[in-house]
Amino acid sequence: MKKPNSKVPLVRVNDHLWRIPKSYREGMLVDGLIYASDELMNLLREDQAAEQVANVAHLPGIQVASLAMPDIHWGYGFTIGGVAATDPLEGGVISPGGVGYDINCGVRLMRSTLRESDVRPRLTTLVEQLFREIPTGVGKSGRYAFDKSELRQLMRDGVSFLADRELATAEDIEQTEAQGCLDTADPNLVSDRAFERGKDQCGTLGSGNHFLELQVVDEVFDDRAAQVMGLEQGMVCVMIHSGSRGLGYQACDDSLKTLRGVPEKYGIVLPDRQLACAPVESPEGLHYLGAMCAAANYAWCNRQLLMWQAREVFARVFGKSWESLQMNLVYDVAHNIAKFETHNVDGKLKRVWVHRKGATRAFPPHHPEVPASYQEIGQPVLIPGDMGRASWVLVGQPGSMEQTFGTTCHGAGRAMSRTAAVKHAQGRRIDQELAQKGIIARSHSWKGLAEEQPDAYKDVNMVVEVVHQAGLSKKVARMRPIGVIKG
């Protein structure tokens, strides 16, 4: 982690909200607001993430506040857990640092009719088979390869491209944020190098904190919402966390190189060059947006193909079709993305670009972008924790629209750097520690599990409690891990 930073003034607003006054530093256009409990704020004081919240408050056209969720930690430019809305009519900018390198990294959850008692006798076999058949790890290619023409179409059309090839259903598309496609995608703005990196990585898990996890619905907190989602206590579900792989990383890297010197061109003064940006309507801004949306569509296809492969493995292990096991998609959410949305800002409806970096959309009941099946309960929100404790399902609440541009947290948030986590794991076998808890974990390396050990993360239960109490999203069910594959 970064060295402690105590100079940022943090003024308590209430039990779950802290303010950085815009008077803290010349050039801040709005306050910073951080959602956190006392315990989480103590962890935050360990690094310089609050400084990054203040930095983001300098962005031209920023609306209301520079926001951070309770899973906040240091990132590139924006903090992980950072949220900022900019108005293009007020000179608002778009910043790749507000989306991140892994464009449209996100989470999807698939339910089933299987109970834990059905899966336990075959758990090791199931995890081993998933690990063998689903490509994991740095740079791994998969069974789905697309030529440049096909890849261009995939990035333009999103998951509907896979539906045409019988690799996605109409229900899969309906239960995916934005129906798995941003129509402003322009694959022609994606570099040849990005195409090359993405040609055989769609349907691969990747490395780092990406995972495929078998989970049991451990406790239900909202019976009605759980029933609408088809979730029941004791049910086995599959959670998938991955993004746009090398293609998205390259698209971000290309854009950051293109944006060097662009802020100066438009007279934009920034406290950190990692916040490189461009006015939304400028040629440079539109170029980034077209490429970013194309990479986002690729990421939705990646998670769809990962889910499809998981369905096939379950069908073979249990000798039943995935349809008869009712392995249906509950929802898919993005948490590294920028989207053009309508929000009420100081009593006026505005169209703004909402940057969400390590933050999840949390639209409330009756919002027009919530799928028809969830109109009465709100958008499902999927919050992965760590592989030793829990993950959560929530639903969006009206408070998110009133406070955070329709946003909530995205996970537990790191409490240790990867280097510190590896040091902390010396002499230990994380896989054996997890096995003692009834969790089967597979990774290609000891280091991979060491970096992602439970101690490396904040307690997701504390993070979720903050957004629940703040009215951003509401608890529906807690999920307990029983099996996990990682890169």
Catalytic residue among 343, 410, 424, 444: 410
Query: Nearest 5 degrees, angle CA 37-CA 43-CA 47?
Result: 130
Cβ(8)–Cβ(50) under 8 Å? yes
410 in active site: yes
**DSSP track, 443-478:** -S-HHHHHHT-GGGB--HHHHHHHHHHTTSEEEEEE
Q: Which helix (H) or strand (E) holds 128?
A: helix 123-133
CA 243 – CA 15 distance, rounded (Å): 34
**DSSP track, 384-449:** ---TTS-EEEEEE-HHHHHHSSSEE--S--BSS-HHHHHHHTTT--HHHHHHTTT-EEE-S-HHHH
| Dihedral, CA of residue 163, residue 292, residue 200 and residue 207, to nearest 10 | -110
- Which one, of 48, 98, 47, lies nearest residue 77 by Cα? 98
Q: Which burial class, exposed, middle or buried, applies to 177 when counting CB atoms under 10 A from its CB (0-12, 13-18, 19+)?
A: buried
CA 185 – CA 107 distance, rounded (Å): 21
CA 110 – CA 323 distance, rounded (Å): 12
Residues making up the chain, counted from first to last:
487
Given phi > 0 = left and psi -120 to 50 = alpha, else beta, which region is 352?
A: beta
Instruction: Identify the three-state secondary structure at position 258.
Output: helix
Query: Nearest 5 degrees, angle CA 316-CA 317-CA 323?
Result: 55
CA 39 – CA 19 distance, rounded (Å): 16
Residues with catalytic roles? 410
